[in-house]
Amino acid sequence: MSSEFRTTYGIYQEPAERITRYSKRMYKSWLIHWHREIEIVQLLEGEYTYVIGNRKYEATAGDFIITKGCEPHQFCTNPPKMMQICKFDIGIVYNVLKKFNYPKCHITKDEIMSIPNLYDDLCFAFNKIGEIETNGGSNAICDCYTALLFTLLSEN
């Protein structure tokens, strides 16, 4: 069952039963917005400008961007560039959040590459989420890979 309510930016509709939502496509820009879910973005090509809260980040292909739930954020790029986005309810990582520090907002590919195998593991988890979502696989398994993706980012 979903609920919706009016915000300054229009109608906000909370997701129905799904915990993880995934998309991979070309994006140009999103105006400032927020949502209840945590969002992990992997930039797949080019350069982007991200604004999270009141901080601005310059990001490039291979970088990861993480926004907390209800945190205002926006991104800009021109022309459109490919990225993949995973949004998920905080419930699937609640215990992780109690145990680990919340990852910083912008994690560069160079930082990730400095830890052996981490970049490959992150890409594997993100690709599995996309594969499961695209092929209509198990929501529970998709949520497990989402928790793994977030845990890898927060633990390292």
Q: Following CA atoms 15, 21, 26, 27 in sequence, which dihedral angle do they give, to the nearest 10 degrees? A: 50
Residue 13's pLDDT band, with cuts at 50, 70 and 90, is low
In contact, 115 and 109? CB cutoff 8 Å: no
- Point out the least confidently predicted range of 6-10, 112-116, 133-137: 6-10
49-75: pLDDT as tens digits: 999 999 999 999 999 999 998 899 999
84-127: pLDDT as tens digits: 999 998 887 776 667 766 778 999 999 999 999 999 999 999 99
Sequence-separated (6 or more) residues with CB below 8 Å from residue 60:
43, 46, 47, 48, 108, 109
Give percent of the chain with pLDDT exceeding 70: 84
Task: Examine the pLDDT at 48 and tell me if it is beyond 60.
Answer: yes
